[in-house]
Structure 1
Amino acid sequence: MKKMRLFLSLFMSVILVFSCKKQEDKTTVKPTVDKLPYFIASDFTPQWLTVSDLEGKHKIPSFSFTNQNGDTITNDTYKDKIYVADFFFTICPGICPKLTKNMNLIQDTYKNDNDIKLLSHTVMPWHDSVPVLKEYAIKNTIDDRKWNLVTGDKEEIYTIARKGYFADEDFVKTQDENSFIHTENFILVDTQGYIRGVYNGTIPIDVKRLIRHIEILKKERP
């Protein structure tokens, strides 16, 4: 009899715990993402900051490069624009074709939205001259009104990749300035030049997440 009572007691306890768990699951609502964090350090730790918190915080530094048309591209080109940046080179046989394909997807998604732009930096500027970038742009149906492929001084490109966009994970670990940069990151930058997201540009589901986040940033515009 004692064993029966013990069994019934344990059975009722399990039922009670399960019932409470189900009730908890019903009342738990996952928060809706309606604001993006800021990324102000190379470890990409997200920080939710207010406008008053942003003074002195990291943003993309000044730059000046040359695009596939031979035009000078600077921060002013992207002033008040939301943009996606990445790093590639035209003869890359590995991840770069995937990056270009997925950048094309973003280009097509926002082909009629002048407030969304793209910026791809070559990490092999000694090879990727203006004519080479132009040929690559034509081959990959790149719209130069929306998407700039830029080349320039190697040191300047590598510096902005590592210290501006935090795009080189190996550099964070090794601090080797001579190391070749090769990253799959897409970096989302807001209208004020702050980094608001980082995504694996080779993974379609992450590119879809990036597009969702662009829509969130659009709602921040005054």
Structure 2
Amino acid sequence: MKKGILFLMVLLSACSPKKTEQATLPYFDTPDFTPIWLNKNTDAYQNLHTIPAFSFTDQDGNNVSDMTVENKIYVVDFFFTRCGSICPKMTTNMGKVAKAFSKDRNVMMLSHSVTPELDNAMVLKKYAEVKGIKNPNWHLLTGDKKQIYDIARKGYFADNAIGYNKDASEFLHTENFILVDKHRHIRGVYNGTIDFEVDNLVRHIKLLEREAD
């Protein structure tokens, strides 16, 4: 419900002829995804939740870390190659994001496997080929399972508040796409299986690019 209200508020603001240039996205500082709007000159902004450092391996065997996304806007999701439920739709919709920013080096996509013990770099490479993933800024990631689950739940709040205190023994399966700005702050959460929410995500990335400029 909160997400729906948030999207409506931002959408109305972005579509208003008088407010287009002033439209800004909120920040998310807690796993319940309560939106807050902050002035960057305040103490609250200085203490805002930030995505921690990370290091994983992508489908080409390359290291992808927090340094890779430095000064980049990026979108995060969590999937596994053997998933037959929500993951195929999520991959299709992440592909829409990748296509919208195919020539934009400032926008990246990070898709983490939640079964890294099965999805090594070779498996992810094959998956990318089958799914037609060609954007060089879209990385399918594998690595240590505990690290993936920790950053998913504690860093990106990907499993919402109900998953915040779970550990790697409890399976992570979420449809959320998480939008992160150039300062590694969470700026949006979207249902990756719903087309209009993905359309909102694309629009919001463009808002962030204007904000950064």
Q: Please give the range of the TM-score, normalised by the shorter of the 2 chains.
A: 0.7 to 0.9
- Select the residue among 11, 15, 39 that pairs with 2:28: 39
CA deviation after TM superposition for structure 1 residue 112, in Å: 1.1
- Select the residue among 69, 75, 81 that pairs with 2:66: 75
Return the alpha-carbon distance in structure 2 between the equivalents of residues 61 and 159 of structure 1.
10
- Contact in 1 for aligned 2:98/2:135 (Cα 8 Å): no
- Once the two structures are superposed, the pairs formed by residues 98-113 of structure 1 within 5 Å of their partners are 98-113=89-104
Return the alpha-carbon distance in structure 1 between the equivalents of residues 129 and 39 of structure 2.
42
Aligned to 1:88: 79
Q: Which runs of 5+ in 2 are unaligned?
A: 1-10, 15-22
1:178-199: per-residue Cα shift (whole Å, max 9, x none)?
2100000000000110000000
CA deviation after TM superposition for structure 1 residue 102, in Å: 0.2
CA deviation after TM superposition for structure 1 residue 59, in Å: 1.0
RMSD over aligned CA atoms reads 1.3
Return the alpha-carbon distance in structure 2 between the equivalents of residues 80 and 181 of structure 1.
28
Tell me the secondary structure at the aligned position of residue 29 of structure 2. Answer: coil
Q: TM-score, normalising length from structure 1?
A: 0.83
Return the alpha-carbon distance in structure 1 between the equivalents of residues 26 and 133 of structure 2.
30
Aligned to 2:125: 134
Q: TM-score, normalising length from structure 2?
A: 0.86
- Contact in 1 for aligned 2:75/2:108 (Cα 8 Å): yes
Return the alpha-carbon distance in structure 2 between the equivalents of residues 153 and 69 of structure 1.
17
Confirm or deny that 1:152 pairs with 2:158.
no
1:140-194: per-residue Cα shift (whole Å, max 9, x none)?
111251100000000000000000000113414xx33221000000000001100
- Once the two structures are superposed, the pairs formed by residues 203-214 of structure 1 within 5 Å of their partners are 203-214=194-205
Q: Which has the larger radius of gyration?
A: 1
- Contact in 1 for aligned 2:26/2:38 (Cα 8 Å): yes
Runs of 4+ in 1 over 3 A off after TM superposition: none
- Contact in 1 for aligned 2:102/2:135 (Cα 8 Å): no
Return the alpha-carbon distance in structure 1 between the equivalents of residues 71 and 41 of structure 2.
19
Return the alpha-carbon distance in structure 1 between the equivalents of residues 75 and 203 of structure 2.
13
- Contact in 1 for aligned 2:50/2:155 (Cα 8 Å): yes
1:101-156: per-residue Cα shift (whole Å, max 9, x none)?
00011111111111111000000001001100000011111125110000000000
- Contact in 1 for aligned 2:99/2:135 (Cα 8 Å): no
Letter of the 1:180 partner, please give it. Answer: F
CA deviation after TM superposition for structure 1 residue 50, in Å: 1.2
1:58-107: per-residue Cα shift (whole Å, max 9, x none)?
01100000000110100111111111100000000000000000001111
Aligned to 2:39: 50
Aligned to 1:176: 166
